[in-house]
Amino acid sequence: MNDFDHRYDDLLDHPRFEPRRHPRMPMADRAAQFAPFAALTGFKELLDRVATAHLAAQPSMYSTPDPDLSPDQALDSTQDHTPDTP
């Protein structure tokens, strides 16, 4: 490696700078700074409720005429009745 790759090697042994007048902010307080980005608090829960209600009202896209058959079994039964010619 050349000198360009090692320009800051002398900084590796130094401790992290801690200002005296402004102590580090606690992690809990740092998280509070991002609270404005959670402006839609409860929105995900609302979406989950709406999606659950929608899915309950709509038949499954994988439903079969015979509820005892799984989608795979229903597909297998249709393949038994298809002609081999294109």
In the chain, where the domains are located: 8-73
17-49 pLDDT, tens digit each = 888 898 888 887 777 777 665 567 787 788 888
CA gap 8, 13 in Å, rounded: 10
CA atoms within 13 A on the CB side of 58: 9
Report pTM.
0.28
CA atoms within 13 A on the CB side of 4: 0
CA distances from 59 to 1, 3, 66, 68, 78 (A): 65, 68, 13, 15, 20
